[in-house]
Amino acid sequence: MPKDRHVSVNGITIKITEQGEGPLVLLLHGFPETSYSWRHQFQPLAEAGYRVVAPDQRGYGGTDCPEGIDNYTILHLVGDVVGLIHALGEKHAVVVGHDWGAMVAWNTALIRPDVVRGVVGISVPPLPRGLVPPMAAARERFGEDFYQIHFQQPHVAEAELSKDIPATFRKVLAGPRAATGGGQGGFLGSFTEPETLPGWLTETDIATFAAQFATTGFTGGLNWYRNLDRNWELTTAWQDTPITPPSLYISGERDGVRSIYPPDFLENADEIVPNLRGVVNVPNSGHWTQQECPAEVNKALLDFLNGL
């Protein structure tokens, strides 16, 4: 069974859930999630001979939430991954990420390829650094109502998401979503609360996420979005640098992120991820792929891991 404990990394305390022995596999969650989003991956990967560790990332769950937006840059997040690998007594790991966790995984492989045996991104593909700041590009493409722009306003999204936390998770995890969100209707205006939960999501799951965010709030996770332009500035030195470790991309065929970050990176995959081992399209899956279709995701992960 997975067990929880805390590890000191880079001046903060990180809560991890771990199971198994063998080569280290780190599982990085997205927004708004925690390590609980990987509940279906621990046992299959551990039984296959891997040491599986999922942290609550900086600002989430049982991990510290430092004050100040500038404590949540991509360099902090990558630094936490590298520090965690070393704190676990390892020299390297396979880093798997979903949603924002995928962005952290890709950037860890970009910035510190020496500690990454392999990298897997779920939902969010490897995104080359653009020529203009991300928020300017988002405003031009999607307008002021785009959810990432909405999230830039301090306290506004926090108040909206915290008003009824169980309802927030029912809407975000199980409600239909438009490609953009925010603006007059707020972020949640793009979702409808479902009458019944889908088969992959239980009331216990909703209660677990709601309890975690009732304790920590949403500011830590939202601060990741508030650093998007700062991250662009901080990563100037890696402009046009390829992600060299062996890589895999997994995407749900009904994932709304495809309309935001279309997987057209494949047209230039040799330049972006020259060691791409595969692309897995998961049928009948939306954005929450490893929760919605764990059997398909676990097979893809194990095929990749066993091939390293």
At residue 266, the pLDDT reads 81
At residue 185, the pLDDT reads 67
At residue 179, the pLDDT reads 47
Closest by Cα among 101, 302, 284 to 199: 284
At residue 175, the pLDDT reads 83
Closest by Cα among 27, 2, 16 to 97: 27
Residue 148's domain comprises: 3-306
30, 102 Cβ separation under 8 angstroms: yes
- The rounded distance, in Å, linking the Cα atoms of 208 and 203 is 9
Domain count, the chain: 1
At residue 177, the pLDDT reads 60
- In the set 29, 76, 98, 287, the catalytic residue is 287
Q: Is 287 a catalytic residue?
A: yes
At residue 282, the pLDDT reads 98
- The rounded distance, in Å, linking the Cα atoms of 106 and 279 is 15
- The rounded distance, in Å, linking the Cα atoms of 159 and 216 is 13
At residue 180, the pLDDT reads 47
Answer whether 0.85 is exceeded by the pTM: yes
CATH number for the domain harbouring residue 210: 3.40.50.1820
- In the set 56, 64, 80, 99, the catalytic residue is 99
Q: Is 98 a catalytic residue?
A: no
- The neighbouring-strand residues paired with 280 are 250
pLDDT mean for each 10 residues of the chain (308 residues) = 97 98 98 98 98 98 97 98 98 98 98 98 94 95 93 95 97 74 71 93 98 97 98 97 98 93 82 96 97 98 98
